[in-house]
Structure 1
Amino acid sequence: MKTPQGRALHTDLYQLTMMQTYVKQGLHHRRGVFDMFFRELPFGNGYAVFAGLQHILDYVTGLEFSPEDLEYLKKKGFSKEFRDYLMDFRFTGDIYSVSEGEIIFPNEPVVTVVATIMEAMLIETALLNIFNHETLIATKASRIKQVVGSKPIAEFGARRGHGLDASLYGSRAAYIGGFDGTSLVAAGKAFDIPIVGTMSHAFIQSFPDELSAFMAYGRENAGNVVLLVDTYNTLKSGIPNVIAAAGSLAAQGITVDAVRLDSGDLAYLSKESRRLLDDAGFREIKILASNDLDENLIMELEMQGAQIDRYAVGTKLITAYDQPALGGVYKLVGIEQDGEIIPKIKISDDIKKIVNPGRKQLYRIINPYTQKAEADYLTCHDENFPLSGRNLVLFDPIDIWKRKTVKTYEAIPLHRQVVTKGKPCLPPVSLEEIRSYAATALNRFWSEHKRKTNPQDYPLDLSVQLWNTKNQLISEIRSHYED
C-alpha cells in the first residue's frame, strides 16, 4: 500500500520548527544516526514480535509534500526558504532493520536510520506511530496464540479499533502474530488475509423466528454456515434450532459448519451444546466462542475442559486492552562531524534510560547443539565479531557481575539494510512469509521465555568495545558539569 496524500504532515510540530532552524543555519545536510527501540516488554510478556516494517517502507519511500501541505505551512508562518526546501523533499537515507516478524527485546535497535538529520527527524513521529501500534498488536496476538495452540483463532476487532487505519493494520499485525484470519474485509483485500465471519443478533431478530433466520442464511452462504445461537436462549432455542436447520439443510446438500457462542458461561454452554449436537448426530459441527476473550479467559476455558474448537478475539486484542502503549522511542546515537559519524549518547539519572551510542550490529547467539537462543549481543558497527566460536563471555551491561560463558556458539546477524539512498533494496516479502518467519523465530526460544506469567528474562549483552565506548562517553559528559 502506498503512502496516502498528506502523510508528510504526519509529524509533530517541533520536527518542522527544528528542521526550519537547520535550514536557516545551513546544517540541513548534516547526517545523523537514529535508533528506534522500546524499553519494557508489554503485558508482562517475555518477548515482543516486530510488526510494521512494510508499512514503514511504504511511508518512507512515498514521502513528499503536496502543494496543499506547503500552502498550509505558509499559513502557519513557515519561511519561503524552508518551504522551497520541502517542495523537493524526498527521503534519501539508508535504513537498517531486523526482519518483520522477528522476536525482539528491550533496548535493542529494531530500526536504525542513517540520513540527513532533517530527513531522520521528519519521519520520527510516523515511524514510532507504526512501530508502537503494530508491534504491540502482533505481540498480544502471539501471546494469545500461545494459549490457544493449534486451534483456529480469528481477529474480530475492527469495530473496536481506534480508527480505520488502526483496525486495518491491526488485522495485519494480528496475522503476523499467529492469528488465522480476520473479519475485516478491507484487510482481506489489502493484505490477502483469510476473511471469516458469522452473523449478527440483528440479522436473527429481523426474521419472524430464529429457525427461519438460520434456514435463510444457510441457503445463501453454503460453505460458510456459522450460526449464532445466543440471541434468545442458547440451550433451549439456539441449539435446538441449529439441529432442526442442520437436518433440513443437509437434505439440500448444505452443511452447517459451526455454531457461535457469544455470551454466558462459555465453558458450561460449550459442553452442553456439544452434548446436544452429538446426541442429534451432528458431531462434525464445530463450536466457536467469542465475547471479550483474551489469553487469560481462554486459558481458564481450556483448563475447565470447554468444548470449544475455534476462538474469535476482538476488543482485548485490537485495542491491546490491558496495555495500550508500547512506549517505543527514537533516539539520536550518532552525528556527522568533519565528514565522519561520531557516537552520541543521552544520559539519565535512570541508568536504564541511558542509550547505547553509535551505529551497532545486533546478533542472536545460538547454541548449535540445542538450536536455542542464549542471548542477544550488541556490538559496534565496525567491530569484527566472529559468527561462530567458543567461550564467548556474556555480561549484564548494568549488573556486570552477572556473567556466563557460552562454550560454543553461532551468531545470527539480525540487522539488514532495507533502504539504500531512499529506495527499498530487498525483494518484497509476502505476509505469509512474514507470519511463517515469526513462528519459526519464536521456536528458537525456551519455554521459560515464552510462558504467560513471570517469564524468564532474556539477556541483551554488550560487547566489551561497545560497553567501553558507552562508559567513556558517560564519563566525558559528566566531567563537564561535575566538580
Structure 2
Amino acid sequence: MSEVTTTDLYEVTMAMSYLREGMRAPATFSLFVRDLPPGRGFLVAAGLEPSLDYLSRFRVGPHDVEEFAEALHRPALDLELLLGLGFDGEVRAVPEGRLVFAGEPLLEVTAPLPQAQLVETFLLTQLCHQTAVASKAARCVIAAAGRPVVDFSLRRAHGPQAGFQAARLGALVGFAGTSNVAAATRLGIPASGTMAHSYIEAFPGEEEAFRGFARTHPGPVTFLVDTYDTDGGVAIAARVLKELGRGPGCAIRLDSGDLGALACRARDILDAGGLTDVGIIASGGLDEYAVDELVRAGVPIDVYAVGTRVGVAADAPYLDAAYKLVEYEGRPVMKLSSAKVTAPAPKQVFRRSGRADVIGVWNEDPPPGAEPLLCTVMRGGWGTPDRLSDARARFDADLAALPASARRIHSPEPIRPVTSRRLAAMTAVVRRRIEEEIRT
C-alpha cells in the first residue's frame, strides 16, 4: 500500500489549491519542538532515516488519486492535477543521534509548495514519535550508569512498526540488545530473551522446567525464577546450574515484586552456592526512574530489561511539535498567533562548547568556534543513507558534552538556545511588514 495517502486531509486540499492557483514556487517549512516535555533536559533527534526513505519514494499514483477522491467525495478527475506529483526538493536536518532543545529545527524542507505541504503529516509522525522514544531510552542508559539495558518493548508497543522503531532507537542510544527478532536480524542488534512464566507452568515444577530448557540450549541460559516463590526459584535455579556445570554467561531473571529486595536475596543465594559469575536480570515495568532508584540503592542487578514504559515513552508520549512555513518564493514569512509565534526564514543551529546553542539564519556566519547542526541530507529527492553506528557515535559524543544538570533523571534543567542578532532583526522586520499589511 502506498504511503502517500498517510496524510491529513487538509494537506490534500491545500496542495490541490496550490496547484490550481499556480503556486509552485519553492517553499521552506521548518519542523521543530516548541517546548520540551516535563521531565526532559534534552531530546535525541531520531526518525530521519525513515523520513528520507519516504521522501525518496514519494509519488502520487492513480490509486492514491482515487483514495483522495473518495475521501473528498469528488470525482477522481477533479484530483488529476495531483497525479505524478513527487518529491524533488532539498532537506536539511539534524543528523540522528544528536541532542536538540526546544525551538531548534529538527528538519527543514525546501521544495515546490505543493510537495512540501503534502509530506508534512508523515514527517511529523515519524520524527515526533521516534524522537520521543529515543529520548526516553537515552534516559534509561543514563540511569543504568554503565550497566547493560535491553529492549523488551515489542509486545506492548503501539503496533509492530512502533516496536521495530523502539528496538532501533534503543540501539541508537546504547542499548545492549532487543527481544525483537526482526529488528535484531535486520539491524544487526544482539537478540536477547529468556522464557515466559507459561513455560515454567507447563512443567510439573520449576526444576523440571529449568532442566528441560538447559537440555535444549547447551550454552549460557537464563532462568525466570519468580513464577511461584522467588527465593525458592532462585535456590532451584542455583542447584540446577551448579549440577550442570553452567556458570559464566548464565543468569536468573526477576520480573515482579520488590526487585531491590529480591535481587539482594537472590545474590546472596547465588553467591552461597558458589555461583558468583551468574548474573541477575531485572524486568517488569521498569523505566529510567525505577532504574535510577535501584542503581542509587546499590542493588546487585547486572542487566535492566525495559519494555512498556520506554517503548511508548509513557510519561511523555508526544512532542509539542510544529511544521511551519518560514519562506515562500524567497519571501520570509511567520505566524503571529498568540503563544504560537514563529520565526521567519530557513534556519541553522550553531552549537558552542559550554554555552547555549544559537538559532540563526541558514546562511549566516557561525559564531566563533561554533558547529552547525543542520546538514543537507537530501537534494533533488535523493539522499545518502546514514548508518546506525554513526548515529550512535554522535549520540555518545553529544551526551558526554551535555551538562550534568540537563542529564539529571529528576528535575533536569534543559539548555535554552538563544537567537542570533541577524534572525532577531529579520523577525522584527517581517513582523512590521505583516502588521502594516494587516492595517492597510
Give the TM-score normalised by structure 2: 0.95
Greater shift, 62-71 or 74-83, is seen at 74-83
Q: Distance in 1 between matches of 2:321 and 2:170?
A: 19
1:172 to 168, 174, 194: 168
Query: What are structure 1's unaligned runs of at least 5 residues?
Result: 367-372, 389-409
Q: Secondary structure at the match of 2:146?
A: coil
Identity %: 34
2:268 to 260, 263, 275: 275
Q: Distance in 2 between matches of 1:431 and 1:37?
A: 23
1:34 to 29, 39, 45: 29
CA offset at residue 441 of structure 1? 1.4
2:208 to 209, 212, 232: 212
2:381 is the alignment partner of 1:418: no
Correspondence for 1:379 = 360
**Contact 2:65/2:76 (CA < 8 Å) preserved in 1?**
no
**Contact 2:149/2:177 (CA < 8 Å) preserved in 1?**
yes
Q: Please state which structure has a larger fraction of its residues in strand.
A: 1
Query: What are structure 2's unaligned runs of at least 5 residues?
Result: none
The higher relative CO (CA closer than 8 Å, separation ≥ 6) is in 2
2:45 is the alignment partner of 1:50: yes
2:425 to 454, 468, 471: 468
The Cα offsets for residues 297-333 of structure 1, whole Å up to 9 and x where unpaired, read as: 1122123221111100111101111121112210000
Correspondence for 2:237 = 242
RMSD: 1.8
1:361 maps to amino acid: Q
2:382 maps to amino acid: K
CA offset at residue 249 of structure 1? 2.1
Report how many residues are paired. Answer: 439
Q: Distance in 2 between matches of 1:254 and 1:287?
A: 12
**Contact 1:158/1:183 (CA < 8 Å) preserved in 2?**
yes
Correspondence for 2:395 = 438
**Contact 1:152/1:309 (CA < 8 Å) preserved in 2?**
yes
CA offset at residue 481 of structure 1? 4.5
Correspondence for 1:120 = 116
The Cα offsets for residues 78-113 of structure 1, whole Å up to 9 and x where unpaired, read as: 555664343322210000011110100001111000
Correspondence for 1:347 = 336
CA offset at residue 482 of structure 1? 6.0
**Contact 1:222/1:254 (CA < 8 Å) preserved in 2?**
no
CA offset at residue 411 of structure 1? 0.8
Correspondence for 1:398 = none
**Contact 1:138/1:175 (CA < 8 Å) preserved in 2?**
no
The Cα offsets for residues 344-376 of structure 1, whole Å up to 9 and x where unpaired, read as: 0101222xx31121012211012xxxxxx3111
Give the TM-score normalised by structure 1: 0.87
2:346 to 351, 359, 382: 359
Correspondence for 1:405 = none
CA offset at residue 278 of structure 1? 0.5
2:321 is the alignment partner of 1:328: yes
**Contact 1:334/1:357 (CA < 8 Å) preserved in 2?**
yes
CA offset at residue 231 of structure 1? 0.4
Q: Secondary structure at the match of 2:105?
A: coil
CA offset at residue 447 of structure 1? 1.0
CA offset at residue 381 of structure 1? 2.2
